[in-house]
């Protein structure tokens, strides 16, 4: 896609009233960066697969590795990223650590993404 493929205004005219509204509603730069970082986490195929497993059940790393045919090390690396993004949580039970979705927002974000790509 080139610049010529995008419809543009025939003349340059700034609409100050609209810009004022936009600037008043625009979140702080740090909040926008946090949001961009969150969506980057969703941009990995393996992490999406892990989240889909966690939609169904609370599981340990061993279960995830088996379900996704991956090494425990690879799964652990991705879980660390998901946990840092507060998308998953963990709990210890004896010698096992079980992972689950952090909250219902994770399921909602994925569901809305699926709705969008299926349009």
| Backbone φ and ψ of 97, nearest 5° | -120, 125
The distance of Cα 35 from the centroid of its chain, to the nearest Å, equals 9
**Averaged over 35-47, what is the pLDDT?**
96
**Averaged over 78-101, what is the pLDDT?**
96
Interatomic CA distance for residues 79 and 95, integer angstroms: 18
pTM of the entire predicted model: 0.84
26-118, what's its fold?
A: Arc Repressor Mutant, subunit A (1.10.10)
**Contact (CB, 8 A) for 32 and 18:** no
Q: Does residue 4 have a pLDDT over 80?
A: no
Query: Domain limits of the chain?
Result: 26-118
Q: Does residue 3 have a pLDDT over 80?
A: no
**Averaged over 5-28, what is the pLDDT?**
91
The pLDDT value given to residue 86 = 96
């Amino acid at each position: 896609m080139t610049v010529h493929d995008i419809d543009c205004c025939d003349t340059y005219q700034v609409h100050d009233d609209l810009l004022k509204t936009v600037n008043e509603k625009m979140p702080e730069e740090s909040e926008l960066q946090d949001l961009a970082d969150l969506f980057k986490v969703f941009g990995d195929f393996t992490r999406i697969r892990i989240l889909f497993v966690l939609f169904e059940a609370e599981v340990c790393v061993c279960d995830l590795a088996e379900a996704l045919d991956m090494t425990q090390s690879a799964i652990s690396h991705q879980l660390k990223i998901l946990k840092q993004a507060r998308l998953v949580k963990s709990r210890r039970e004896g010698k096992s650590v079980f992972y689950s979705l952090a909250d219902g927002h994770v399921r909602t974000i994925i569901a809305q993404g699926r709705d969008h790509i299926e349009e």
